[in-house]
Amino acid sequence: MTLDPLEQIRILESDQILPFETWSDRSAAPTIELDDIRCIRHPFLVTTLEDSQYLLLADTDFFLSLAEAGLDHVPAQVCPPSQISLQPTRLGLVDFTGDSLDRLCARHPDQIKSAGESPSSDGWLNMRFDFADQASRDLLIRHSQRRGCPEGLRSLHREIGRLTRIVPGIDLEAGNQTGTFSYRFGSVASVPAFAFDDLVYAVNTESLFPHGIVDVSASFRLLDIDLPMNVLRAKTPVEEKELFLRDLLHLRQQSRRTSRYTGQVFVLNNQHP
C-alpha cells in the first residue's frame, strides 16, 4: 500500500495537544528562543482524544518548550489508536543498590512493598529490579485505581530521581560497558506494562506518568518535513498553513529522496530545532 502522508500530517494548535507524561527534568530544560529555530524537522506524534484534543505520544520536552516559548501552531502526525503500540521500558539507575531500595520501601510502606509482604496482589503491580552485584528483587507498587499511572510509581520515580540519575531504555549489561562517558548502573528497573487507556486516564485526571516510563511507537512514522518556523508563526489561518504544508510534502515526494525503513530505527543524535 502506498503511503499518503497527507492523510495524517496536520497543523494543530498547541493548546489542543496534551502530554501523558511530565518533563524529564524541568529544572534542567534549556530555554528556547523561537527566533533561533529555522524549522521544525519532525511532526509531533499524536492521536485523537475527545473535544477536539490530541494526546502527545513522544518528544514531550521539546513540545512543552515550544509551547512555553509561545508557539501557537505545530505540525503533527495524527495516528489512530489502532496504529499505536506501547512497550514497557527499562530504567537504568546509576549507583542504585538493594539498600537504596530498602530505604525507599521503609519511607513509603503504604505505596511500595517488597514482593511477598502483601497478602494479595489485587491492587498492586509488580516491578522488577536487577542489580549489578546483588540478587534481583521484585517490588509491589500500589495501584488501587487499576488504571492510569499508579501513585506509588510516581512516588518511587520521584524518590529515585532525588538519589540518582535515571536513564530510560537501558540494559544492565549495556550500561556497564567501559568507556570515558559510560555510566555505572547499579541496577535496572523493569517497569510494568500499561495500556493506551491508561495514558488517556492519566491525561483526564491530570495524574501524568513520569517521563520515560512508557515507550509509545506508531506503525509508521514520517520524519524530516522541515517545516519553516516563519510559516508556523505567521498570522494566517491554520487552513492556509496546512495548504503550505501539503505543497511542501508533495515537493518532498517529487524530489525522489524519500527513504523507507522497516523495523526499529535508532536516531542517536536527533537535534530537534
Residue whose C-alpha is closest to residue 11's, from 63, 79, 80, 76: 76
pTM of the model: 0.86
Tell me the C-alpha distance between 203 and 208, whole Å: 6
Number of domains in the chain: 2
Contact 167/183 with Cβ under 8 angstroms?
A: yes
**Which residues, in sequence order, are bridge partners of residue 127?**
139
The reply to whether 117 and 176 lie within a common domain is: yes
Examine residue 202 and state whether it is found in any structural domain, yes or no.
no
The reply to whether 19 and 77 lie within a common domain is: yes
Examine residue 271 and state whether it is found in any structural domain, yes or no.
no
Examine residue 272 and state whether it is found in any structural domain, yes or no.
no
The reply to whether 123 and 177 lie within a common domain is: yes
Examine residue 211 and state whether it is found in any structural domain, yes or no.
no
Examine residue 235 and state whether it is found in any structural domain, yes or no.
yes
Give tens-digit pLDDT for 208-260. 999 999 999 888 888 889 999 999 999 999 999 999 999 998 887 787 767 76
The reply to whether 100 and 174 lie within a common domain is: yes
Which residue in the block uniquely carries the three cell numbers 527499562? 90
The reply to whether 18 and 77 lie within a common domain is: yes
Domain around 250: 5-85+217-254
Any idea what the CATH number is for the domain that residue 57 is in?
A: 3.90.1530.10
Give tens-digit pLDDT for 53-107. 999 999 999 999 999 999 999 999 999 998 899 988 899 998 888 999 999 889 8
Cβ neighbour number for residue 128 with a 10 Å cutoff: 16
